Homo-oligomer: A and B are copies of this chain.
Amino acid sequence: MELAQEVGARLRRLRQDRGLSLSELARRSGVGKGTLSELETGQRNPTLETLYALTTALDAPLSTVVGPAPVQGAAVHAVLTDRVQDAAAVWEVYRIRIQSGAVQRSAAHVPGTEEHLLVFSGTARVGPASAPFEVGPGGHARWAADVPHLYEAVGRDVEGVLVVRYPVG
């Protein structure tokens, strides 16, 4: 998808999630109504100032509209917030939400891959498919991800941070 279209779609979604009309957001942000309409439909290439005015009025960080796209699975919704590489390994940090009512299974990753989960809220059932374990709010789990593993929310949805480490190469 075209960059401007992607950003426009995210803006529109963000605005609608907050129940704002296009006219109302235009008023609050000081951005022209016409400008906003064309931005949301991907017909314009916004300036930094305009994006900033809009995300501020929407009470969202700029990264919400320009950041990487979320990864969506059966029960897992994740967005990459950081990525670090050193001589031996790559670390990827995801903001993760596990939705209750479904189980997400993941195949084995490259040998040496390891995952960490830090739970903010809810209780998760994660780890190797053969022996998963539960982690509650404030808890931490670590498991080898070079075997099949799964993610599941026990009861309410789970919010947290997932860190994946895999060897470089």
Q: Which residues of A contact B (CB under 8 A)?
A: 3-4, 7, 45-49, 51-52, 61-63, 66-68, 81-84, 86, 88-89, 91, 93, 95, 114, 116, 118, 120-121, 138, 140, 142, 159, 161, 163, 165
Contact = CB atoms under 8 A, between A and B. Distances in A.
B82 A95 contact: yes
In the complex, the count of this chain's copies comes to 2
A52 B95 contact: no
Given A45-B47, A46-B47, A140-B142, 5 more contacts: A48-B48, A84-B159, A93-B161, A118-B118, A138-B142
Instruction: Give 4 closest A-B pairs by Cβ, nearest first.
Output: A81-B81, A45-B49, A62-B66, A45-B47
Contacts of A114: 138
Given A45-B48, A46-B48, A120-B84, A140 B138 contact: no
Contacts of A84: 95, 120, 159
